[in-house]
Structure 1
């Protein structure tokens, strides 16, 4: 497989991972209701992105670092809003 094809597939995967959190973040922020979000699931998801980002750093793989750090920020935002709006 060519490097270009691999980079295109990786970029598309990263974009999908990152943007998949946006609708949920927007909904939680506008409704101030995170009751539908599973704390356990998002805690595991955030842990996953922390580990993948760490792996990228250890292997010096910047596409993995960037993609997973961005996804970590998005999923971390959902998790933070879950905690912030938990009593509503």
Structure 2
């Protein structure tokens, strides 16, 4: 029973981590404005997820690896949009 509870908690944490970036990403994409996003904060966040993925691979902790790799993709998307829309929508000019 303990292992089942741990897996449920871990799965819930993974889903929360992954989906937590979706609202910010959708807002930036829709408005073509990333001025409210901190470049330093998202750079640190992406770095953290990279390190978690490396840790997961090194320890063969595949749930940690997969969950953090998915969160890395989401956070990287926000970071890339921050860079792309740093001066507003490039296609609006």
Which TM-score band applies after superposition, normalised by the shorter structure? over 0.9
Q: Which structure would you say has the larger Rg?
A: 2
1:41-75, CA deviations, whole angstroms, 9 ceiling, x for partnerless residues? 00000000000000000000000001000000000
The structure with the greater share of residues assigned to helix is 1
Structure 1 runs (4+) greater than 6 angstroms displaced? none
What's the C-alpha RMSD, in Å, of the aligned pairs? 0.8
TM-score, normalising length: structure 2 = 0.93
TM-score, normalising length: structure 1 = 0.98
| Matched positions, count | 88
Gaps of 5+ in 2: 89-93
Gaps of 5+ in 1: none
